[in-house]
């Protein structure tokens, strides 16, 4: 029954997307892959609207799906046979390739059908999807930066998930691989290079990275499919005469053999078949939708918008086609921008925080995050080719045969090769912002086809490379190549795939942190919030999971917890400004140095004659940057703090306006001791309204560690809305927490899989 | 302003007549769909869109401006510090301007920044508040120069006159000493003394007896 629900969820989603694509394209393109991929963009957009309206229910999706399917009248379109075209010849090579394709797609299918165990799929891709379904739409999520990424794929997952849960979502992603491979084959045949098309498709389809990604609830293969579909539609548009003939010819889009049926596929079944030439008015909107959908799928897909607009502008040299493409692209991009702008105060959240300062993601985190993904743990970018193809240290491998990718440069001799390489460069343009191997998937089809064009010029070479690729990419072989932690496919027993055996057992064997999720779900009441330093698979719990790095608020909670748990990181630093007693309206502490430290103040106290001035309600507090948490430096708690949220630079300040005139002679800043790079000076606004420097430096000293700090930290975490802390045995603070439960006031409520769950007081 | 049926067609806009004729019922629906799409495309190129885009861009970039946000003081948390009226606390760092108040005797008169020399009979005093559990902690250093004279040093720690522990420091350099301190050794909410007696001391250039260098000491959780 479960497998039936999964298959229905996936197939219904694919069918709905295909129907919507058919409605959008009309007769402009007859290929299923194009209709499915384009319709996915439309479906994703519609699901976004439903989620925004709070109408996420299986019934709503059922109405939408059946309406779309009925409206496109598939019974009018279905033609038995191969549309009058000849079937491919039954040669030994064709049969061998067919067997290889079937074998690989069989293991992909079983993997996708099995319980979802992928790292990101089981955490945020489906964790957020499940939340949207539970809550019947979007709600403001500021505690998880992944909720701010464009989630075009999650909208499709949501549609499938509503009927078939996790595995249905993974199967929808697998459908994009089918569409991609199918289109690559068609593209080759269309250009009288059927063998090259098949070869390129096989290079992509058999790649270990592509396989494991496509059979999981991810979005990289979907982006590749959208990129390639966009490429094909732009080509079709150019061929239909809408563009500048000269440019199209230069790129190989206006010439070339049309009927060279080397692989047994006729031109008539292809996009841009002769009866449709003459310019379909739906092509430009479709191009715009696809470009926008690429952005909606993944931020790195923004290049699709630039690519589509740039090429249409270049070839048409008219404003109207460009405006149409841009408008439809914007239609799909805008919802994500608006959602973030309204809820996160940053349309491009969680990035570009220096342009759109907000309380939810700090600039220093963004920098650290981006810096890590620029190089992972590699010493140099020169290590990328081996790491991404063979070694698996970038989160998986594309396959050793992709070391031959430079051979594809030989294709530059031909216009089609230049066209492929241009697309590869465009869709690979973002790669160096995240060098994970899966970020090479979007340009991979173009590179693979260019490689195939070169390989097929040498008799037997392409087949040899394909067979080698098939052998080296087979999961047990990949297991021998890559280190244990590298993401790769494993062969899934069919009983697990069709959920005949208890999925719990499968999860526990394949998803290391699943027991922690199961523990949370089992022992905490509904509506609980759990804080953790490890991203547990929250697709399998309905509780709110706060992971330490996933928002500024979570990082704040993490620092509070760690400073208490370490026993040594209490804010014992004291920076003391002393000055002759003054009548002041306000004081301002300026930071004047440049460096890598992040300025932190746990408490700012102002004294007169050795007594702290009372914190009157008339006071007004501010800070630059990150003013949103300045109150935490004035709440009398050493546990809480204000943090600049970015590396120190001149111009940072904290200011206290007394709301009247007060006498003062000393200002003390309490904070951590690990910010030796900061340089502070103190200014005061005198009674006559002029600002003057009160002290040009502070005297540094150490204060006493606080008694009751752990308890205060636990209470503060509770005040932040956290109910439970999940501690893992291998975390540095685990032992401290276990030994000092009484000092924390925390109660252990359960343990599983190396994790202990503590309830806050 | 949107484009209405009575307005002239914008130059270059797609009209329904531009769409290929349909031959069957299915294509009639196709034509109507294409008509909708083309109308939408025309609408998006209208002057409304041209005016709307800069407004959207202006709104989007509004977040770039720096606005100073002001906040009132928040609710005050209970203090974790001892009342400032007390002359002593439960812990002292030698960089504290008030460090002298914790010294009963046996130390150099002044701190050298963050540390202070202890002589042969150093004694400290602390006000120890009631707390669930406490341990005594100190950071001390045996410099290479004095250690060369003394060799390994045994430190006898007395709490309120009772011998609490003996610790042997066999290596020079910085050391941290910490040990749980049961309440039977202490007087809660009162002043307690801690004597730290080295069995050997070095002799400085001016004849000063140099035991060890203390950075911080006191009671922690």
Which residues from B are below 8 Å from A23, CB to CB? 33
Residue A397 predicted with pLDDT over 50: yes
Residue A687 predicted with pLDDT over 90: yes
Q: Residue B25: closest CA among chain A residues belongs to which residue? A: A76
Q: Answer yes or no: is the ipTM higher than 0.95.
A: no
pLDDT of residue B159: 97
pLDDT of residue B37: 47
Shared-domain flag, residues A28 and A104: yes
Mean pLDDT value across residues A138-159: 98
Q: What is the pLDDT of residues B155-168, one digit of tens each?
A: 999 999 999 999 99
pLDDT of residue A281: 76
Q: Residue A71: closest CA among chain B residues belongs to which residue? A: B29
Is B45 within 8 Å of A323 when comparing Cβ atoms? Answer: yes
B206 vs A624: CA distance, rounded Å: 53
pTM score of the predicted model: 0.86
- Give how far Cα A411 sits from Cα of A192, A230, A399, A419, A422, Å: 15, 21, 21, 10, 12
Shared-domain flag, residues A213 and A77: yes
A329 vs A327: CA distance, rounded Å: 5
Q: Is A69 a member of any domain?
A: yes
Higher pLDDT, B196 or B205: B196
pLDDT band with cut points at 50, 70 and 90 for residue B5:
very low
Mean pLDDT value across residues A315-321: 92
pLDDT of residue A26: 81
Shared-domain flag, residues A178 and A251: yes
A701 touches chain B (CB under 8 A): yes
- CA of B178, closest CA in chain A: separation in Å? 12
- CA of B95, closest CA in chain A: separation in Å? 5
pLDDT of residue A92: 87
Residue A420 predicted with pLDDT over 50: yes
pLDDT of residue A85: 59
Shared-domain flag, residues A623 and A736: no
**Of the given ranges (A145-149, A341-345, A719-723, B40-44), which has the lowest mean pLDDT?**
B40-44
B162 vs B159: CA distance, rounded Å: 5
pLDDT of residue B22: 33
Mean pLDDT value across residues A447-470: 95
Higher pLDDT, B29 or B131: B131
Output phi, psi for A704, to 5 deg.
-80, 145
Shared-domain flag, residues A445 and A322: yes
Contact A620, B70 (CB under 8 A): yes
Mean pLDDT value across residues A275-281: 49
Residue A231 predicted with pLDDT over 70: yes
Residue A118 predicted with pLDDT over 90: yes
Contact A21, A39 (CB under 8 A): yes
Output phi, psi for A484, to 5 deg.
-55, -40
Q: Which of B34, B72, B77 sits opposite A620 (nearest CB)?
A: B72
A170 vs A6: CA distance, rounded Å: 10
Mean pLDDT value across residues A196-203: 96
A248 vs A242: CA distance, rounded Å: 10
pLDDT band with cut points at 50, 70 and 90 for residue A268:
very low
Which residues from A are below 8 Å from B60, CB to CB? 337, 341, 347
pLDDT of residue A570: 87
pLDDT band with cut points at 50, 70 and 90 for residue B59:
low
Which residues from A are below 8 Å from B115, CB to CB? none
What is the percentage of chain A residues whose pLDDT exceeds 70? 92
Mean pLDDT value across residues A435-439: 97
Q: What is the pLDDT of residues A730-757, one digit of tens each?
A: 999 999 999 999 999 999 999 999 999 9
Shared-domain flag, residues A58 and A181: yes
Higher pLDDT, A724 or B86: A724
Shared-domain flag, residues A694 and A727: no
Shared-domain flag, residues A550 and A586: no
Of B96, B108, B104, B86, residue with least CA distance to B216: B96
pLDDT of residue A746: 96
pLDDT of residue B83: 80
Residue that terminates a domain, selected from A450, A479, A508: A479
- Give how far Cα B90 sits from Cα of A185, A712, B32, B190, B215, Å: 77, 18, 84, 10, 15
pLDDT of residue A595: 97
Shared-domain flag, residues A596 and A728: no
Shared-domain flag, residues A731 and A595: no
Residue B25 predicted with pLDDT over 60: no
User: For chain B, which residues make up each domain, given as ranges?
Assistant: 16-64, 91-220
Q: What is the pLDDT of residues A495-550, one digit of tens each?
A: 999 999 999 999 999 999 999 999 999 999 999 999 999 999 999 999 999 999 99
pLDDT band with cut points at 50, 70 and 90 for residue A373:
very high
Residue in this structure with the two tokens 């790669």, named with its chain if needed: A431
pLDDT of residue A616: 95
Contacts of A137 (CB under 8 A, 6+ apart): A50, A51, A52, A53, A54, A55, A56
Q: Determine which of A701, A713, A737 to mutate to test the interface with B (most B C-beta atoms within 10 Å).
A: A701
Higher pLDDT, B2 or A699: A699
- CA of B74, closest CA in chain A: separation in Å? 6
Mean pLDDT value across residues A451-458: 95
What is the percentage of chain A residues whose pLDDT exceeds 90? 87
- Give how far Cα A462 sits from Cα of A92, A199, A566, A651, Å: 15, 7, 59, 61
DSSP, collapsed to helix, strand or coil, labels residue B168 as: strand
Contacts of B25 (CB under 8 A, 6+ apart): none
Mean pLDDT value across residues B110-130: 92
Q: Which of B13, B74, B132 sits opposite A634 (nearest CB)?
A: B74
pLDDT band with cut points at 50, 70 and 90 for residue A482:
very high
- The H or E element that residue A709 is part of is helix A709-719
Of B32, B39, B33, residue with least CA distance to B14: B39
Residue B121 predicted with pLDDT over 50: yes
- Number of domains making up chain A: 3
- CA of A241, closest CA in chain B: separation in Å? 15
**Of the given ranges (A170-174, A239-243, A692-696, B131-135), which has the lowest mean pLDDT?**
A239-243
A281 touches chain B (CB under 8 A): yes
A143 vs A348: CA distance, rounded Å: 16
Shared-domain flag, residues A425 and A381: yes
Token pair of A757 as six digits: 């769950």
Strands (E) located in A569-723 = 573-591, 598-601, 603-608, 611-612, 620-624, 642-647, 652-671, 680-686, 691-695, 699-702
Mean pLDDT value across residues A373-386: 95
State the average pLDDT for chain A.
92
Shared-domain flag, residues A286 and A381: yes
Which residues from A are below 8 Å from B89, CB to CB? 704
Q: Is A502 a member of any domain?
A: no
Alpha helices of A482-598 — where are they, by DSSP H? 494-497, 503-510, 514-523, 552-566
Token pair of A508 as six digits: 């526990």
User: A654: domain range?
Assistant: 571-702
Q: Determine which of A25, A45, A277, A281 to mutate to test the interface with B (most B C-beta atoms within 10 Å).
A: A281
Is B91 within 8 Å of A628 when comparing Cβ atoms? Answer: no
Q: Is A540 a member of any domain?
A: yes
Assign domain B91-220 to a CATH class. mainly beta
Q: Chain B 55-94, CB below 8 Å of chain A: which residues?
A: 59-60, 63-64, 66, 68-81, 84, 89-93
Mean pLDDT value across residues A554-576: 91
Q: Is A486 a member of any domain?
A: no
**Of the given ranges (A70-84, A250-264, A464-478), which has the lowest mean pLDDT?**
A250-264
Of A638, A645, A556, A636, residue with least CA distance to A599: A645
């Amino acid at each position: 029954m479960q497998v039936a629900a999964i298959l229905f969820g996936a197939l219904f989603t694919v069918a709905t997307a295909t129907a919507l694509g058919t409605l959008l394209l009309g007769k402009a393109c007859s290929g299923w892959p194009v209709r499915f991929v384009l319709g996915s963009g439309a479906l994703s957009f519609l699901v976004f609207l439903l989620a925004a309206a709070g109408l996420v229910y299986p019934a709503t999706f059922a109405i939408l799906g059946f309406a779309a399917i009925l409206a496109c009248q598939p019974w009018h379109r279905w033609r038995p046979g191969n549309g009058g075209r000849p079937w491919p010849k039954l040669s030994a090579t064709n049969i061998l390739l067919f067997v290889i394709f079937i074998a690989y797609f069989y293991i992909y299918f079983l993997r996708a059908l099995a319980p979802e165990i992928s790292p990101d799929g089981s955490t945020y891709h489906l964790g957020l999807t499940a939340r949207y379904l539970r809550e019947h739409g979007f709600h403001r999520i500021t505690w998880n930066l992944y909720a701010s990424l464009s989630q075009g794929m999650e909208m499709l997952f949501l549609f499938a998930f509503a009927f078939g849960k996790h595995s249905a979502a993974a199967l929808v992603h697998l459908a994009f691989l089918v569409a991609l491979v199918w289109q690559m084959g068609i593209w080759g045949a269309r250009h009288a290079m059927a063998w090259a098309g098949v070869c390129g498709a096989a290079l992509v389809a058999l790649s270990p990275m592509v396989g494991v990604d496509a059979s999981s609830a991810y979005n990289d293969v979907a982006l590749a499919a959208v990129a390639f579909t966009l490429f094909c539609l732009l080509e079709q548009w150019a061929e239909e005469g809408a563009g500048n003939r000269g440019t199209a010819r230069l790129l190989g889009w206006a010439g070339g053999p049309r009927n060279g049926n080397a692989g047994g596929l006729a031109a008539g079944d292809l996009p841009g078949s002769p009866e449709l030439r003459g310019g379909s008015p739906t092509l430009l909107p479709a191009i715009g939708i696809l470009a926008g959908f690429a952005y909606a799928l993944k931020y790195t897909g923004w290049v699709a918008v630039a690519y589509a607009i740039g090429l249409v502008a270049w070839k048409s040299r008219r404003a109207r086609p460009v405006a149409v493409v841009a408008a439809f692209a914007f239609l799909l991009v805008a919802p994500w921008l608006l959602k973030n702008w309204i809820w996160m105060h940053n349309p491009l959240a969680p990035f570009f925080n220096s342009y759109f300062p907000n309380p939810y993601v700090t600039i220093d985190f963004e920098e650290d995050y981006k810096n890590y993904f620029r190089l992972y743990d590699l010493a140099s970018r020169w290590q990328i080719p081996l790491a991404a193809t063979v070694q698996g240290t970038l989160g998986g491998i594309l396959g050793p045969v992709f070391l031959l990718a430079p051979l594809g440069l030989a294709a530059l001799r031909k216009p089609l090769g230049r066209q492929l390489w241009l697309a590869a460069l465009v869709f690979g343009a973002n790669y160096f912002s995240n060098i994970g191997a899966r970020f090479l998937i979007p340009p991979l089809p173009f590179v693979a086809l260019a490689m195939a064009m070169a390989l097929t010029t040498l008799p037997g070479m392409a087949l040899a490379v394909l067979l080698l690729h098939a052998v080296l990419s087979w999961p047990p072989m990949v297991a021998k190549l890559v280190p244990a932690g590298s993401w790769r496919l494993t062969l899934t027993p069919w009983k697990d795939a069709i959920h005949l055996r208890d999925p719990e057992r499968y999860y526990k064997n394949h998803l290391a942190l699943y027991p922690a999720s199961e523990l949370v779900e089992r022992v905490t009441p509904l509506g609980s919030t759990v804080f953790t330093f490890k991203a547990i698979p929250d697709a399998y719990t309905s509780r709110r999971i706060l992971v330490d790095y996933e928002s500024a608020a979570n990082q704040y909670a993490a620092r509070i917890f760690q400073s208490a748990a370490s026993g040594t990181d209490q804010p014992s630093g004291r920076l003391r400004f002393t000055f002759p007693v003054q009548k002041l309206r306000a004081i301002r502490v300026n930071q004047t140095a440049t460096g890598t430290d992040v300025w932190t103040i746990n408490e700012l106290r102002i004294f007169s004659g050795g007594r702290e001035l009372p914190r009157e309600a008339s006071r007004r507090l501010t800070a630059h940057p990150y003013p949103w948490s300045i109150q935490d430096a004035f709440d009398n708690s050493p546990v809480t703090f204000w943090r600049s949220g970015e590396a120190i630079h001149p111009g940072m300040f904290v200011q206290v306006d007394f709301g009247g005139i007060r006498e003062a002679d000393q200002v003390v800043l309490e904070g951590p001791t690990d910010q030796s790079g900061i340089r502070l000076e103190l200014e005061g606004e005198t009674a006559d309204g002029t600002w003057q420097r009160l002290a040009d430096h502070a005297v540094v000293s150490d204060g006493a560690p606080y008694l009751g700090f752990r308890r205060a930290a636990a209470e503060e975490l509770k005040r932040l809305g956290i109910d439970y802390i999940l501690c893992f045995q291998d975390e540095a603070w685990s032992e401290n927490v276990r030994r000092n439960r009484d000092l924390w006031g925390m109660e252990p409520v359960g343990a599983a899989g190396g994790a202990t769950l503590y309830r806050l007081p | 302003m949107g484009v209405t049926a009575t307005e002239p067609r914008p130059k270059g806009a797609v009209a329904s007549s531009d769409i290929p004729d349909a031959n069957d019922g299915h294509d009639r629906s196709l034509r109507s769909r294409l008509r909708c799409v083309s109308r939408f495309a025309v609408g998006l190129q209208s002057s409304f869109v041209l005016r709307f885009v800069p407004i959207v861009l202006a709104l989007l970039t509004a977040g770039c401006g720096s606005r100073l946000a002001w906040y009132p003081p928040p609710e005050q948390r209970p203090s974790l510090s001892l009342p400032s009226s007390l002359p002593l606390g439960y812990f002292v760092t030698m960089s504290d301007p008030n460090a002298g108040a914790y010294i009963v005797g046996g130390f150099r008169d002044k701190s050298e920044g963050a540390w202070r020399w202890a002589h042969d009979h150093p004694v400290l005093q602390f006000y120890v508040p009631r707390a669930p559990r406490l341990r005594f902690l100190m950071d001390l250093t045996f410099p290479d120069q004095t250690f060369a004279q003394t060799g390994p040093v045994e430190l006898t720690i007395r709490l309120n006159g009772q011998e609490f522990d003996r610790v042997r420091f066999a290596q020079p350099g910085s050391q941290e000493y910490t040990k749980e301190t049961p309440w039977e050794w202490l007087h809660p909410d009162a002043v307690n003394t801690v004597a730290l007696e080295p069995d050997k001391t070095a002799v400085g250039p001016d004849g000063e007896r140099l035991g060890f260098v203390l950075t911080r000491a006191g009671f922690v959780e």
